[in-house]
Structure 1
């Protein structure tokens, strides 16, 4: 499946959101560095020894592909946004192509690892998410690893309260309340909080893995509760404090009572 400017693979508003180009810098600065470093930390413990064949589906501008290549892995990145593919193609060692998570142009069993660190965010129908996971299962080798990122159900509510938007800007509340109720974040009004997305409950993700033929092996809260603490930027700027924060998050990352408090969740599974 291919994409053109006239027929993007994403919903129009989602494509427009990412075509602005802001995603490339989001994980490289500010509090969002916690998401980047924790995703990297969890993946480094889950991935097989290099060199592994990694298919980075929905890999954006290559923010994770870059360090994966530096770690010695062979990385092929697939993304539905032409700008992202252009950006990722400039990274040494990264092969980047346009594509859809639901219809991958890859041979059966051709990857050791398939990462979906974004596609499930914007597939609002369960059938589409299961289709993307089933494609990941198809292209990963038997016994191979699949890791998917999801946004937690109450992330928008927690984030907008933490930033003061929910309290001070009632116009944002219908979007946030809708996502908290049924998981669907819909773009409404002139001050969207994000773009069209689906926010999971933690227990839903293993069900979707199972429906796609994947065996869930673990779930990991990415930011834990730390992302809601006002001093997070100061902690991340100090290497010693940052190391302590990351250590604390490792200790609590799979605690069932805290999984839903994190902004993002990583779910790992394997093809039997």
Structure 2
């Protein structure tokens, strides 16, 4: 790998470019309603502006688009973002190459959202990055808007940059930035391969 290629790797995305081909089929194989079962009742029922941070192949954004929502799908891994744009073409989805913790391009748009999704992303951020990220995410929420997050617990591929993150720490960060806890639930993984490995998830929801 060249120095130029290494310089383009966004911290937290290590391993995703290399595994993109296998990940695309895995992501596309998990229905939205199965993955989000713990928080389905919290999703907006009227057409809303949604920010999906770490959108992957856009399978979540695509489902939300069918419900009439407009989604800004933020994904820093080129292979996943490009695959998503091809797999799920929709006038309701806009793709953006941006990343946590700073979300520089997203913040520069001066938009706020009814719902922000940060699923299967948070544990890739170091402690300092998580603090920066939470403050930026809170600023992107409309009044009374919702933030939904999922934290992975358990074995991870060696190629990934992963930190042990607790639900308790995440709740404290959210509270510090003016967000109120609306839900906390722990579930098994929706992906069979992860479920067999003993992967668990914490689902959290916060309201501004």
TM-score by length of structure 2 reads 0.80
CA contact (8 A) 1:53 1:113 kept: yes
- Structure 1: how far apart are the matches of 2:138 and 2:117? 11
Residue 70 of structure 1: aligned partner: 66
Partner SS for 2:38: helix
Residue 195 of structure 1: aligned partner: 160
For 1:52-78, what per-residue CA distance to the aligned partner results, in whole angstroms no more than 9, with x for missing partners?
100001111112111111122111100
Structure 1 gaps of 5+ residues are 157-184, 186-191, 231-260
Judging by fraction of residues, say which structure has more helix. 1
Residue 82 of structure 1: aligned partner: 78
**Matched ranges for 1:98-177 at <5 A:** 98-104=97-103, 105-106=106-107, 107-108=109-110, 110-123=112-125, 125-152=126-153, 155-156=154-155
- Structure 2: how far apart are the matches of 1:205 and 1:54? 21
- Structure 1: how far apart are the matches of 2:18 and 2:169? 30
Partner SS for 2:15: helix
- Structure 2: how far apart are the matches of 1:108 and 1:229? 39
**Matched ranges for 1:199-218 at <5 A:** 199-218=164-183
Task: Say what the alpha-carbon RMSD is for the aligned residues.
Answer: 2.9
Larger Cα-atom Rg: 1
Partner SS for 1:17: coil
CA contact (8 A) 1:149 1:265 kept: yes
Deviation at 1:121, TM superposition (A): 2.0
Partner SS for 2:46: coil
Structure 2 gaps of 5+ residues are none
> Alignment length, in residue pairs?
196
Deviation at 1:40, TM superposition (A): 2.6
CA contact (8 A) 1:56 1:76 kept: yes
Most deviating of 140-149 and 19-28: 19-28
CA contact (8 A) 1:55 1:113 kept: yes
**Matched ranges for 1:217-228 at <5 A:** 217-223=182-188
